[in-house]
Amino acid sequence: MKLQGIKIEVIKKQIKHLHLSVLPPNGIVRISAPLSVCDESIRLFAASKISWIRAQQKKFAKQLRHSKREFVSGETIYIWGKQYYLDVRLGEKNNFALKSKKAVLTVRKESSVAQREKYMRKVLRKFLKDEINRLLPIWEKKIGLKCKKWIIKYMKTRWGTYGKITETISFNLQLVHKPIECLEYIIVHELGHIKYRKHGKTFIAYMDAYLPYWRETKNKLNALTLDYIV
Ligand SMILES: [Zn+2]
């Protein structure tokens, strides 16, 4: 169904009321309708909600743009779950500093987006590295499991992994954008894989024992898709 240039997916099913949703990340419009409702009624229903649909689509389009960042003033960046406004200044030497709500990024005038991105990844890597260095030994001691080696990687589909053969935990660089408890959740989860290979009952019991609220943290971690912010 098409309405004022907007494509609408209609799904008829055994429900009582019409239900409209605009889905992230691309702003796809979907209407679930009871089997008995005719197309004309669905069309009227959609027409009555058109300004809301447009507003939602606009919001998602704006969020999507954030993934294609250019490292210019006004963009936002999340560090440990806190939002900062990027304030880009030109200078002789690259620098990065957090000042209350601002993230001040100093870059050379002629620097390209790729160079700024490369520098920012270096900065973010340092943020994450410092926290892993602080938190990992605390959890290793608490749990009684020690990881042989860990690395930070930029990953698109996983927050963390444990390589049995190399005995290495890989942390996704993008964890730096999430609240700190998300990093702790990944630390505990991946340390668990030293002992338990799969996410079976014993693994769940282990998670419950050390992080009783891990499910909430996991939901928080997956609330935004990967590669969404930087
Ligand atoms: Zn796992």
Rounded to the nearest angstrom, the distance between the alpha carbon of 182 and the centre of ligand 1 is 14
Rounded to the nearest angstrom, the distance between the alpha carbon of 213 and the centre of ligand 1 is 16
Listed in sequence order, the residues at least 6 apart from 206 whose beta carbon sits closer than 8 Å to its beta carbon are: 192, 195, 196
**H or E element, residue 196:** none
Listed in sequence order, the residues at least 6 apart from 88 whose beta carbon sits closer than 8 Å to its beta carbon are: 71, 72, 73, 105, 106, 107
Rounded to the nearest angstrom, the distance between the alpha carbon of 189 and the centre of ligand 1 is 6
Rounded to the nearest angstrom, the distance between the alpha carbon of 221 and the centre of ligand 1 is 14
* Residues 76, 77, 79, 80, Cα dihedral to 10°: 60
Rounded to the nearest angstrom, the distance between the alpha carbon of 199 and the centre of ligand 1 is 6
Share of the chain above pLDDT 90, in %: 75
Confidence of residue 225 (pLDDT cuts 50, 70, 90): low
How far, in Å, CA of 5 to CA of 23, rounded? Answer: 17
3-state secondary structure of 190: helix
3-state secondary structure of 52: helix
Rounded to the nearest angstrom, the distance between the alpha carbon of 192 and the centre of ligand 1 is 8
Mean pLDDT of the chain: 91
Share of the chain above pLDDT 70, in %: 94
Instruction: Read off the tokens for 68.
Output: 């294609």
Rounded to the nearest angstrom, the distance between the alpha carbon of 31 and the centre of ligand 1 is 36
Whether the predicted pLDDT of 65 surpasses 80 = no
List pLDDT tens digits, range 5-63.
899 999 999 999 999 999 877 788 999 999 999 999 999 999 999 999 999 888 877 76
Query: pLDDT at position 219, please?
Result: 87
Domains and their CATH numbers in the chain: 2-65 (no CATH), 76-222 (3.30.2010.10)
Instruction: Read off the tokens for 136.
Output: 């990992």
Rounded to the nearest angstrom, the distance between the alpha carbon of 153 and the centre of ligand 1 is 16
Confidence of residue 129 (pLDDT cuts 50, 70, 90): very high
* Residues 114, 91, 74, 217, Cα dihedral to 10°: 70
- Judge contact between 105 and 120, C-beta under 8 A: yes
Listed in sequence order, the residues at least 6 apart from 21 whose beta carbon sits closer than 8 Å to its beta carbon are: 29, 30, 31, 32
